[in-house]
Amino acid sequence: MTKSTPIKLTQFSHGGGCGCKIAPAILTEILANTPMRAIPPELLVGTETSDDAAVYQLNPEQAIVATTDFFTPIVDDPRDFGRIAATNALSDIYAMGGKPIFALAVVGMPLDKLPLEVIREILAGGEEICAAAGIPIAGGHSIDVLEPIYGLVGLGIVHPQCVKRNSGARAGDLLILGKPLGIGILSAALKKGLLSPEGYAEMIAQTTKINTPGAALATLPGVHAMTDVTGFGLAGHLLEICRGSQLRAQLEFARLPLIPEALKWVRDGIATGASTRNWSGYGHIVTMPAGSEEWQQKLLSDPQTSGGLLVACAPDCEQAVLAEFEREAFKPAVIGRMEEGPADINVS
C-alpha cells in the first residue's frame, strides 16, 4: 500500500470488536463438558458464573484479578483500534471491582499486508489508554496471522471483600447502566459507509472511556453485582447476572440510554450479524412487550465493544452509585430492577 492508498483495517476482519465473540449458545455448548479440576480455595472467582475475570486471593487484604480480551478491528484508524481494544480489555478488571496494575499485549498481525507504521500505531493506541489508566504494558506476545488482532492481558488488585460477582444480585436491586447502547449498530453503519463524522466521534468517545468508576463502586456496601456489557449485548450480560443470582430482571425499554445516531440506523434496519446470533441464543427467555418491533430486539442484543458497567444495587444506594458515575463524567441510567422469579428477562 502507498501513502495515497490508506489502509482500511476493517477490510481484513470478518467481524469487528466484541462482535467477534463466539455466540453465547455456541460457547455454552463448547464449554459444556469442560472438566472442572481441583479448585483451590484461594480461587474466589473462576468459570462457574460467567464472570468477567478470574480472582485469586493472595492474603486477607489482596486478591489478583486476571483477564484477557482481544479482537479484530472495529474501526479503520489504527490508533483508535488500539485505544478501543485496550479500554475494552481493562474494563473487565473494573467490572470485578479491581484496579489494574499492569498489562501484557496480545498482538497478531498479517505482516505481509500491514505496514510496520500501522502496527506501531495500533500498539501506541493501547499504550495511550494504559498510560491514562496509570499502568504500564510490561510485555506480551506477538504472532503473524491472517487478520489483525490486538488486545491485552490485564492484571489488577482488589480487596477480597470488594469482589463483585454476577451471582451477587438480590431481589429488589435496581439496575444501573453506565454507558449508552448502540456501538455495534454504529460499527455496522461504518462498514456500510453510512456513519456520520459526528456518529464516529461519539463511537470513539464511548469506546475509549475507561470504566474507572468500577473500583469505587465496589466499595459501596449496597452494590451487590456488577458486569460490563460487551459482545453478548445488554440482554446477554444481564442474563448472566440473572442465572448467577437465580433472579428475574425487569427492564424498562423507555429508560435505556441510547446513542441517537444508533437509534436512527437500527430503525432503518442496520445491525450486526452478531446481534442476530446473540438473539438466537437467548431470545426465547427474553419476554418483549406486546407490539414491540424488531429494532428493539436488535438494541437489546447489540454487541457492545467497550460497553458500560451494569450495576445491581440496593435502592437506598442508587444516589451513591449515580454520583460515582457522574463524578467521572459518565451519564448513567436506572433501567430496571431484579426480582424473585426464574432466571430470565421481562421487558416492559
- Residues annotated as catalytic are 18
Residue whose C-alpha is closest to residue 206's, from 122, 301, 304, 278: 304
Q: Which three cell numbers stand for residue 6?
A: 490508506
Look up residue 250 and give its amino acid: Q
Contacts with 97 (C-beta within 8 Å, 6 or more apart), sequence order: 158, 162, 163, 164, 214, 215, 217, 218, 219, 226
What are the beta bridge partners of residue 45? 55
Contacts with 202 (C-beta within 8 Å, 6 or more apart), sequence order: 186, 259, 261
What does the radius of gyration of the chain's CA atoms come to, in whole angstroms?
19
Q: Which three cell numbers stand for residue 30?
A: 463448547
Look up residue 209 and give its amino acid: K
State how far the Cα of 103 lies from the Cα of 136, in Å rounded to an integer.
6
Q: Is 312 helix (H, G, I), strand (E, B) or coil?
A: strand
Residue 267: Cβ within 10 Å count: 15
Three-class secondary structure assignment of 200-259: HHHHHHHHCCCCCHHHHHCCCCCEEEEEECCCCHHHHHHHHHHHHHCCEEEECHHHCCEC
Exposure string for 274-287, b = 16+ CB within 10 A, e = fewer: bbebbbebbeebbb
Residue found under cell 481493562: 90
What are the beta bridge partners of residue 132? none
